[in-house]
């Protein structure tokens, strides 16, 4: 049997203590636009290609009934990790933008393939990464 083809990662989720605070952070720092929002989640547009789902911790631990079917329960905890790709030519601009917004850059890594990553935290201590090309063999 042949494995069916995937196109891409469409959504990724982070679980947050204060939904309003986290939405404000991601909108301010990344200028993400809201696709959908309610009391338990906010779906944010990432470059018109992916969706970042911010879920209020504990608010999705029961089945969610929709007009089209049910969404099984889920939740998460801990200091999760998420990376966004950036152009190498914008690395310094991103560093300056983070500093201007009082966001501490926790680390910078220059990878053996030639890429660079900068690491910082969101209000829930999730580790965010901005990574240039040549981080992975496929990127």
pLDDT tens-digit series, residues 73-120? 999 999 999 999 999 999 999 999 999 999 999 999 999 999 999 999
User: Judging by beta carbons within 10 Å of its beta carbon (0-12, 13-18, 19+), is residue 32 exposed, middle or buried?
Assistant: buried
Mapped onto helix, strand or coil, the DSSP state of residue 84 is strand
Which token pair is 137?
């063999």
The domain boundary residue, chosen from 40, 62, 77: 77
pLDDT of residue 137: 84
pLDDT of residue 109: 97
- Asked whether residue 15 is assigned to any structural domain, the reply reads yes
Q: How many CB atoms lie within 10 A of CB 135?
A: 19
pLDDT of residue 33: 97
CB 48 within 8 A of CB 7: no
How far is C-alpha 108 from the geometric centre of its chain's CA atoms?
18
Strand partners, 43: 36, 53
Range of the domain at 90: 78-139
pLDDT of residue 92: 96
- Domains contained in the chain, number: 2
Pair (71, 107) in one structural domain = no
Q: How many CB atoms lie within 10 A of CB 86?
A: 18
Pair (70, 14) in one structural domain = yes
Pair (45, 104) in one structural domain = no
Claim: this prediction has a pTM higher than 0.85: yes
The domain boundary residue, chosen from 77, 104, 127: 77
- Asked whether residue 2 is assigned to any structural domain, the reply reads no
- Asked whether residue 1 is assigned to any structural domain, the reply reads no
pLDDT of residue 28: 97
Pair (24, 84) in one structural domain = no
Mean model confidence pLDDT for the chain: 95
What confidence tens digit (pLDDT) does each residue in 38-57 have? 999 999 999 999 999 999 99
Residue 26 and residue 1: Cα distance in Å, rounded? 42
The domain boundary residue, chosen from 28, 57, 77: 77
């Amino acid at each position: 049997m042949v494995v069916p083809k995937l196109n891409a990662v469409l959504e990724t989720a982070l679980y947050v203590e204060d939904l309003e605070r986290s939405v404000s952070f991601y909108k301010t720092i990344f200028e993400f636009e809201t696709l959908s929002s309610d009391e338990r989640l906010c779906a944010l547009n990432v470059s018109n290609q992916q969706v970042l789902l911010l879920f209020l911790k504990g608010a999705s631990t029961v089945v969610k009934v929709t007009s089209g079917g049910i969404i099984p329960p889920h939740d998460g905890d801990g200091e999760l990790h998420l990376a966004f790709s950036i152009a190498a030519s914008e690395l310094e601009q991103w560093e300056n933008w983070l500093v201007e917004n009082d966001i501490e850059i926790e680390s910078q890594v220059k990878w053996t393939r030639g890429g660079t990553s900068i690491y910082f935290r969101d209000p829930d201590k999730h580790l965010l990464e901005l990574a240039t090309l040549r981080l992975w063999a496929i990127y």
